[in-house]
Chains A and B, each alone.
Chain A
Amino acid sequence: MKKNQIYLYGEDISIHTKKCFFIMKLTAILVLIGCLHLSAKSLGQSQRISVDFRNSSIKEVFNEIERVSDYTVFYRSEDLTDLRKINESFSDKPVFEILDDVLKGTNLSYVLKSRVIVVLPKDHSEAVTQQKGGTVTGVITDANGNPVPGASIVIKGTTVGTISNANGSYTLANVPANATLLFSFVGMRTLELSVDGRTSLSVVMEEEAIGIGEVVAIGYGSLSNRRVSSSISMVKADQIKDAPNPTMDQAIIGKVPGMQIKQVSGQPGSSSVIRIRGDASISTNNSPLYVIDGFPVNFGYDETRSPLQMLNPNDIESISILKDAASTSIYGSRASNGVVIIKTKSGQAGKSNIVFNYNSMLQTYHPHSKIKVLNGEQFAQYAIDQIEDPMRAKGLPIPADKSHIPADYRNPAAIGEGTDWFEEIMQLAPAQTYDVTFTNGNDKSQSFMSAGYYNQDGVIKNTKFERISARANMNLQLNKIISAGMNIAPTYSWGRKAPTGGATWSAQSVMSSVFQASPVVSPYDEQGNLRPYIQSSGTFGYPNPLHLLENIEDRYKKFTALTNGFFQADLQNGFILKTTGNLFYDDTKGTYFKSSEVRNWQGGDHPNDAVSKLSDQKTINWVWENTLNYTKTLAENHHVDVLLGYTAEKSLIEYFHAEGVKFPNDIIRNVQAGEIDNVNSSKSEQTLISYLGRANYSYKDKYLASATIRRDGSSRLGTNRKWGNFPSASLGWRVSSEEFMKGIRQISDMKLRVSYGLTGNKEIGDYLYISALTRSDYVINGQVKPGQVVSSFENLDLGWENTTQFDLGMDVSFFNNRYSLSVDYYQKITEDMLLQVPVATASGYSSAWMNIGKMENKGMEFSLNAKNKIGELSIETDLNLYFNRNTVLETNKFNDPIIGSGNWTITTVGFPISSFYGSISDGIFMNQAEFDKGPRYSNASQEGVGGPRYIDLDGNGIHKDVEDYTVIGSPEPICSYGLSSRLAYKDFDLSFVFNGQIGGQVHNATSQWYFLFEGPLVNNSVEVLNRWRTPENTGNGRIPVASSASVRYRMTNDAWIHDNSYLWFRNVTLGYSLPKNLLNKQEVVKNARLYFTAMNTLLLSKNKWGMPEASQGGNSATNAGIDHNSYPIPMSFTIGANITF
């Protein structure tokens, strides 16, 4: 791979190192591709190690040094031939002493700087061959005047360069007079200088707080991955930059074990449902806490307008997912669902770039979203059968003139396909992204700015999402002590939503009518106008879905601004004091207009009154944080990092809603044009005060310990229990640093971790512990007299929902870090849940908020990373597997089950939350004899031969709804998995992501509701062709007769519960970067890449129809896994370009 070679002395020489992952990083720095903004300290030159060599080659010696230390050794293989074997033991010696020893008597010398050792022939500086063209020489020194050996000097725009020798001096031949030289060295700020005809160019390089090892963002800081002893997953910009993703959540699907990201709706701009390590709560919000550039944002969940939409994925530098209590409890009362720390990009000294991204996307509905229903011909025949089957059963003659059949069905063949309503409302939908970013900086100030415009049409006609986003991130180093910074990110988005979702037969859900409306009616009348209403003989009448999309205007506008500013004082001696102010502002305005032309179902003749609605919700949330950080390495081996903090925050939500009715016409659509009706407004606040502390200790980076505590006081909780303490502790052990491990060369790194801690949840409404008064007036002497009554239970003891979590983990790297594996086992128990439990109404209240109930999540996570090179092909692959078991342990004092809406789900002791609830089907009553055997249902008009039969669980001979219901499945999979891979070959890159699950069920409620048999005709899935018709013609034996005897087929039973195992290709991207030598000819474009992406395409599913991640209940934990009239998830194809200037 090109990147793994640099040109030493102007010659093409491969540099060998065992730490291939490391070299990618290093060379990345060398050739000035960005690197992370890190804070790990250089180890200096004094690291002491213990090694033991028995007949080892020099190469093996270097390998061993690399393994046990933080150093990476660069050398030329041919320099190492014909050298003596080493037989020596070193105990706790500095690395340079060992090197001096082993290289004694050779013609090799070395330079050691930061964590790099470069081994060079002693005579190399004299060995420079004469080159044609100008030669530039110079000395590279650091700020203290010490030489910097091993620094790279590259002619900008080429790969030609050299490195400095032990004295820091360099000579580079063949340098064009107008060239620019790049000076770079690990841990130092890269410099860029024009030659301007000079032959001597000496530079002073400054140290930069950039480490080599991975640095992970943790709460209120960052930590070297080596010192992490808790469970954190990280996704970096590099891993998501290749594929275009409209939102951050879609970008990390399938990439993080323990994190489930479900695309529940395809509405442009809609939210995913996100869970980290299962549902930790029954009634409160189960979404993780998002921390954006240090700002914990109270996002909540918005089904159609994702709060994550305000983040432009191209602005994201890294995403850390904090999973165990040791990492999350620093966020105390909001952390029980995990924490997602998002860091946006920042400017870098010495780096200035303009990057332009453009892409164009075409989307179409995913074929799995479409349930196959009868076409016109099939439907007409079905209607005829509905008339003739009972006649035949009674032995009546079938009139030959077909007079018994309504005219519109008499000739099915002539109808042909009829109207495919689903296709009618779908469109091929374009989307475009325009994005530009500017990066600039020097040692005093760094800035990053971006602006983006995104425009997406939905696959359902007349749906849309657009976003304009901007960001400015600025950092200033004012003097040696004071630094300050500010991030400002305003976003404006707007969209139009389709009337989808909701119950079947709801008048204004297009997804309901597209499957059920009569296919023999065309959308347009004879004059070519849209029919408002669809009905053929005997059918259920639906408003025309196309007409609905035109005549219901549901729009929103959303302005969001996220701002943070900090002010930091470096008090020296390791103390850093920082104060940060954060402000989040969101204003979401909704407008809705339903024209008077819109019809109800079964209400074809009656135009309705037009309705207009206006709503506005403003959120203002400020957070003020103060931290004092102390970092110190004591007696060389003891590294201490202590954090103390105090934060306060407040959030205010104001809501206003007004409706207008009885509009004189449909032209003026503002609320005030009608009669004002139903005006309401509300205002609500919450506050939080927190104290936090954390101590990290590591001994030689071998033994790690960390403890955190947060004390939170919340306005939401009862007077007696406002304050809660959330402690945690973790321990880590780098086994690979131990003596006994050094013989095991296959293992390059190994760490064991254990953690335990407590986190909380308070995501209930505001003021719920207070007993509220509501208006209840009375009449005295004919006059209304105001009255007040107490309407809710006062619970001053309403306290935190507590989640304790135990985590045991291991990180291992093999074969010089080419493979790395992380395994975690966790057990998470939530207690004292915030539940609104029913209480005896004799108390005066029907329910009360209490701390009761208990639930467990336990599981395992595996993630495997592999990096391989085969010639010029490099492959990096991440595989993760995730097992979670959720079990409800207690619901209330009497352990009553919690039944979800529509009696569809049950949350009860011993089963996973939101298990499916219903009858167990037992085929159909094939004939009279079977029917007589029962079990029967009490209502004779709703059962009969050919009808469905269910198991009579209580054995009383009667099958009753709810009474004979049981748990019939659960949306929880046995295992979820994700696989992502990035391949690079020369100028091409290819990446793909797929994810899926094994096990778990989905409740296919959409098709369940087609089986409307007792009343008028509705269209049905093609499965109805296999129905029972007579005792002789029983179809496939699973689909009951199409008569009112099958009414109860529609009641929830396991026929609608399907295996939800699936595998889904979420993203496949092929990119091509224009060759460097082509770009070198001009000086404007530094980098240009073109790409093609296919998203959400191939879906392998055990479920015939419907989308595996759809969920009618949205974010609700107790109504999960129900696919019911949801907006189809699109698949898309994109072409795009990234150009760096």
Chain B
Amino acid sequence: MKIKYKILLAVLIMANTIGCNDSFIELTPYNFLSSSSFYKTKTEFEQGVMGVYGGLQNFYNGVGYIMGDLPSDVATKQFNNGDRGLPQAFEEVDELRIPSNNGNASSAWNSVYNGISQANIVLEKLEGQSILTEGETKQYQGEIKFIRAIHYFNLVRLYGDVPLILKPVKSTNEALSLSRTSKTEVYNAVIVDLTEAIEKLPVEYSADQKGRATKGAAQALLGKVYHFLGQKENALQQFRAVMNSGKYDLLPNYAKVFDPASKNHIESIFDIQYVTGGLNEGSVFAYTLAPLNSHSVLTFNMGSSPACAVMVPTNEFMSEIEPGDLRKSVLFRENYNDASGATVNVPWIVKYYYPGPANGNDSHANWPFLRYADILLSVAEILNENGYSASSEALTLLNRIRTRAGLPAKTAVDLPNQEAFRLAVEKERKVELAFEGHRWWDLIRTGKAVSRITDHGKKEMANPTTFRDTNRFPWAIDSYLPTNNDLIWPIPQGEIDKVPGVLVQNPGY
């Protein structure tokens, strides 16, 4: 009998060794890290912050690089007579007839909110931790708030009222009840974030940290936000701070501004950073801005699919380039030679085209998000708005940009009044900052978008920049006929469908 109880006891003891221990069913994944066990060291926080920066890369490789130019008058979609699938989403943006299921509308929404979510998560993890020094914590907080401000500034300009989420969403219930916040509140949040970023960010970094957000970047962006909102004095104050910091200046040569060989130079205030090398860190612009079937002009491999010419310069824009403008060859070419050597008359943007990378969509060009020339022209514009003066600082600033481009300086004779100066600055911004994501927002800011695009559309439809078989593919009834409703994008239909009754669509969609 005794042996039986010994057996029973032995089994019970063995059972206990596993049974009473919940750790047997608490498993740590092998294939990935879990967020709950991360953010415990300085290295992990640094990786978290890099992840937040990475969100900018995703957005500017996706919709970010087209949203400021494609809807405007400087760029159009090369019409693809052979493929009527995917290209249509870009035509709709170009012609300002965006349906609520437009792929760019949802792609922008998704990648921006993904970036915001990462920012919120790391910000929360930074709170109350004692792993980092106070200085490190401040810098990370500043960087993340700067990036979150970029995201919200993009969102509110694209969609108007949007859900304002400043803390990580933790419950599924919350994730199903995020409704829109008024754009005033969103802009306020952007201003708060940037104000804090200015306070927390360093003026500059050591050489090996070039490319991170600086105080000047936050000031420049805050200036641009104020400027966009029409708060000229506030804007000017920030721009002046940038100018007075002594950290920024124009490069002597316009072409060098975009050259990947000399990134993060004195004119660059904040670039979205990319690098080639098959590391999934390259930019796509060189690839997606090349004309259809232009394999032959590019020295790098285009893979099996043709380039897609998402944006090409419009006829109207090209015709406005002044003779002798050194920027012209940096901006675009009017044709290319195909494999047989024949000339194909499709203009294309070369601003980001730098041969070298093995693959077209793994390019080394950065996205110039904040550039000193933009600040100078903005200041010139504000000064002129504050009061025209024949021999002003405004004129000096304008001419600094013009002379670098090899163009004659404007004089008071050329620009005799405030309106003439206003148009000159607008024109200069249009060319100097072309294909850098500014023109559309300038049109919105100055209230000219509807009239300008309607006018531009007439010209474009009468004389299309690229070949379009209009018999087979006639212009849509609402091509280039924007109303005020078309100045903001629709909330992606998929998002509205996910949470019926929670998200309300913009008027007109």
A interface residue numbers (CB < 8 A to B): 481, 569, 571-572, 577, 579, 624, 626, 628, 646, 648, 682-689, 691, 713-715, 719, 722, 766-767, 770-774, 776-790, 793-795, 837-846, 848, 850, 893-894, 896, 941
Interface 1/0 per residue, B469-497 and A, CB below 8 Å: 00010000000000000000000100101
Given the known inter-chain contacts A839-B176, A842-B113, please indicate yes or no for A779 contacting B211, CB distance below 8 A: yes
Given the known inter-chain contacts A689-B19, A713-B22, A787-B47, please indicate yes or no for A842 contacting B165, CB distance below 8 A: yes
Contact A840 B178 (CB under 8 A): yes
A167 CB → nearest B CB, Å: 38
A716 CB → nearest B CB, Å: 9
The 8 closest A-B pairs by CB, nearest first: A844-B117, A787-B50, A839-B175, A776-B54, A843-B175, A787-B51, A843-B169, A789-B51
List 6 additional contacts besides A626-B14, A789-B118, A843-B174; criterion CB under 8 Å.
A624-B18, A779-B281, A787-B50, A789-B52, A840-B499, A896-B497
Contact A778 B35 (CB under 8 A): no
> Cβ of B176: which chain A residues have Cβ within 8 Å of it?
839-840, 893-894
Contact B11 A842 (CB under 8 A): no
User: Chain A interface mostly helix, strand, loop or mixed?
Assistant: strand
Contact B165 A786 (CB under 8 A): no
Residue from the set B169, B175, B178, B209 with the largest chain A CB neighbour count within 10 Å: B175
Interface 1/0 per residue, B168-189 and A, CB below 8 Å: 1110101111100000000000
Contacting B175 at CB < 8 Å: which of A714, A790, A793? A793
**Interface stretch (choices B271-279, B334-342, B404-412):** B271-279
Contact A481 B3 (CB under 8 A): yes
> In the complex, which residue of chain B has the Cβ closest to the Cβ of A568?
B7
Contact B32 A773 (CB under 8 A): yes
Given the known inter-chain contacts A767-B29, A772-B33, please indicate yes or no for A777 contacting B281, CB distance below 8 A: yes
Given the known inter-chain contacts A788-B48, A793-B172, please indicate yes or no for A772 contacting B34, CB distance below 8 A: yes
> Cβ of B120: which chain A residues have Cβ within 8 Å of it?
844
A943 CB → nearest B CB, Å: 15
Given the known inter-chain contacts A713-B25, A790-B117, A840-B495, please indicate yes or no for A577 contacting B7, CB distance below 8 A: yes
User: Chain B interface mostly helix, strand, loop or mixed?
Assistant: helix
Residue from the set B30, B279, B502 with the largest chain A CB neighbour count within 10 Å: B30
In the bound assembly, the distance between CA atoms of A691 and B12 in angstroms comes to: 12
Contact B31 A683 (CB under 8 A): yes
In the bound assembly, the distance between CA atoms of A270 and B114 in angstroms comes to: 42
30 intermolecular pairs with C-beta atoms under 8 Å apart = A571-B4, A577-B4, A577-B11, A684-B31, A770-B35, A772-B33, A773-B34, A777-B54, A778-B53, A779-B275, A779-B281, A780-B210, A781-B208, A785-B46, A785-B50, A789-B52, A794-B35, A795-B172, A837-B172, A840-B502, A841-B492, A842-B109, A842-B113, A842-B163, A842-B165, A842-B178, A843-B175, A848-B172, A893-B176, A894-B501
B64 CB → nearest A CB, Å: 15
Residue from the set A683, A783, A795 with the largest chain B CB neighbour count within 10 Å: A783
> Cβ of B208: which chain A residues have Cβ within 8 Å of it?
780-781, 783
> Cβ of B502: which chain A residues have Cβ within 8 Å of it?
840
> Cβ of B264: which chain A residues have Cβ within 8 Å of it?
781
Contact B34 A776 (CB under 8 A): no
> Is B162 positioned at the interface, with any CB of A under 8 Å from its CB?
yes
In the bound assembly, the distance between CA atoms of A766 and B27 in angstroms comes to: 9
Contact A683 B11 (CB under 8 A): no
Contact B54 A781 (CB under 8 A): no
> In the complex, which residue of chain B has the Cβ closest to the Cβ of A680?
B31
Contact A840 B25 (CB under 8 A): no
> In the complex, which residue of chain A has the Cβ closest to the Cβ of B8?
A577
> Cβ of B51: which chain A residues have Cβ within 8 Å of it?
776, 778, 787-789
> Is B15 positioned at the interface, with any CB of A under 8 Å from its CB?
yes
> Cβ of A771: which chain B residues have Cβ within 8 Å of it?
34-36
Contacting B279 at CB < 8 Å: which of A686, A687, A784, A788? A784
Contact B163 A840 (CB under 8 A): yes
Interface 1/0 per residue, B40-74 and A, CB below 8 Å: 00001011111111110110000000000000000
> Cβ of B209: which chain A residues have Cβ within 8 Å of it?
780-781
Given the known inter-chain contacts A689-B19, A766-B29, A793-B175, please indicate yes or no for A844 contacting B54, CB distance below 8 A: no
Contact A781 B207 (CB under 8 A): yes
> In the complex, which residue of chain A has the Cβ closest to the Cβ of B50?
A787
Contact B116 A844 (CB under 8 A): yes
Contact A787 B32 (CB under 8 A): no
B478 CB → nearest A CB, Å: 14
Residue from the set B29, B121, B492, B495 with the largest chain A CB neighbour count within 10 Å: B29
Contact A789 B54 (CB under 8 A): yes
> In the complex, which residue of chain A has the Cβ closest to the Cβ of B492?
A841
Contacting A714 at CB < 8 Å: which of B8, B25, B31, B162? B25
In the bound assembly, the distance between CA atoms of A788 and B43 in angstroms comes to: 11
Given the known inter-chain contacts A684-B30, A767-B29, A848-B175, please indicate yes or no for A722 contacting B211, CB distance below 8 A: no
In the bound assembly, the distance between CA atoms of A229 and B498 in angstroms comes to: 46
> In the complex, which residue of chain A has the Cβ closest to the Cβ of B26?
A715
> Cβ of A789: which chain B residues have Cβ within 8 Å of it?
51-52, 54-55, 114, 118
A608 CB → nearest B CB, Å: 10
Interface 1/0 per residue, B205-225 and A, CB below 8 Å: 001111110000000000000
> Is B110 positioned at the interface, with any CB of A under 8 Å from its CB?
yes
A296 CB → nearest B CB, Å: 16
Contact A778 B50 (CB under 8 A): yes
Given the known inter-chain contacts A689-B18, A778-B54, please indicate yes or no for A845 contacting B175, CB distance below 8 A: yes
Interface 1/0 per residue, B259-277 and A, CB below 8 Å: 0000110000000011101
In the bound assembly, the distance between CA atoms of A772 and B121 in angstroms comes to: 13
> In the complex, which residue of chain B has the Cβ closest to the Cβ of A682?
B31
> In the complex, which residue of chain A has the Cβ closest to the Cβ of B30?
A683
In the bound assembly, the distance between CA atoms of A213 and B27 in angstroms comes to: 47
Contact A780 B31 (CB under 8 A): no
Contact B113 A777 (CB under 8 A): no
> In the complex, which residue of chain A has the Cβ closest to the Cβ of B58?
A776
Contact A782 B34 (CB under 8 A): no
> Cβ of A842: which chain B residues have Cβ within 8 Å of it?
109, 113, 162-163, 165, 169, 178, 495
In the bound assembly, the distance between CA atoms of A789 and B38 in angstroms comes to: 10
In the bound assembly, the distance between CA atoms of A896 and B501 in angstroms comes to: 13
Contacting A786 at CB < 8 Å: which of B4, B50, B162, B175? B50
In the bound assembly, the distance between CA atoms of A713 and B25 in angstroms comes to: 7
In the bound assembly, the distance between CA atoms of A646 and B11 in angstroms comes to: 10
Contact A646 B19 (CB under 8 A): yes
Contact B19 A840 (CB under 8 A): no
Contact B117 A687 (CB under 8 A): no
> Is B500 positioned at the interface, with any CB of A under 8 Å from its CB?
yes
A784 CB → nearest B CB, Å: 5
Contact B22 A790 (CB under 8 A): no
> Cβ of A770: which chain B residues have Cβ within 8 Å of it?
29, 34-36
> In the complex, which residue of chain B has the Cβ closest to the Cβ of A655?
B31
Contact A687 B275 (CB under 8 A): no
> In the complex, which residue of chain B has the Cβ closest to the Cβ of A683?
B30
B371 CB → nearest A CB, Å: 18
In the bound assembly, the distance between CA atoms of A789 and B46 in angstroms comes to: 11
Contact B48 A787 (CB under 8 A): yes
Within 8 A of A (CB), among B89-133: 109-110, 113-114, 116-118, 120-121
> Cβ of A839: which chain B residues have Cβ within 8 Å of it?
172, 175-176, 498-499
> Cβ of B162: which chain A residues have Cβ within 8 Å of it?
842
In the bound assembly, the distance between CA atoms of A787 and B118 in angstroms comes to: 11
Contacting A841 at CB < 8 Å: which of B14, B25, B110? B110
> In the complex, which residue of chain B has the Cβ closest to the Cβ of A838?
B498
> Cβ of B35: which chain A residues have Cβ within 8 Å of it?
770-773, 790, 794
> In the complex, which residue of chain B has the Cβ closest to the Cβ of A628?
B8
> Cβ of A687: which chain B residues have Cβ within 8 Å of it?
24-25, 27
> Cβ of A787: which chain B residues have Cβ within 8 Å of it?
47-54
> In the complex, which residue of chain A has the Cβ closest to the Cβ of B6?
A569
Contact B263 A777 (CB under 8 A): no
Contact B50 A844 (CB under 8 A): no
A712 CB → nearest B CB, Å: 9
Contact B498 A840 (CB under 8 A): yes
> Cβ of B114: which chain A residues have Cβ within 8 Å of it?
789, 841, 844
Residue from the set A713, A776, A838 with the largest chain B CB neighbour count within 10 Å: A776
